[in-house]
Amino acid sequence: MATQLDLVRGTLDMMVLRALSWRALHGYDIARWLERVSDDALRVEEGSLYPALHRLAARGWVTAQWGVSENNRQAKYYTITSAGRKQLRQETETWAAFIAAVAKVLEARPA
């Protein structure tokens, strides 16, 4: 059964950056990718991707360009910048450290 985690905003940003780390994508691509890789476990309201993308653009982590999508529609493609890659690396490390710490706590034995 799919658990629906309440996504923290920063987490969403991190995942979007990750999605863009291989190639330029438009918003719908990102939604699809998120759906696929999380096995639909992380259900986000897809609209919330767009403020996230604009936020990343304002910080200079991604750049945007209008282009033509696979089925000949106008779509805005987002590309990660080198600053964005650096940010992604940092956040991934922080996240891993956080998860490890939480896991330790959850697996701890009674004192």
Which residues sit at the interface with another protein, rule CB under 8 A? 26-28, 31, 45-48, 50-51, 53-55, 57-58, 66, 69, 71, 73-76
Both tokens of residue 55? 């936020």
Nearer Cβ to another protein (28/95) = 28
With respect to another protein, which residue has the nearer C-beta, 69 or 92? Answer: 69
Please state the closest distance from residue 102 (CB atom) to another protein, in A: 28
Min CB(108)–another protein separation in Å:
38
Considering the complex, state which of residue 65 and residue 90 has its C-beta at the smaller distance from another protein. Answer: 65
Vertex 65, ends 93 and 35: CA angle to 5°? Answer: 50
Report, in Å, the least distance between residue 42 CB and another protein.
13
Q: Are 29 and 20 in contact (CB under 8 A)?
A: no
Assigned token pair, 1: 């059964």
DSSP for 87-109, written as a single string: HHHHHHHHHHHHHHHHHHHHHPP
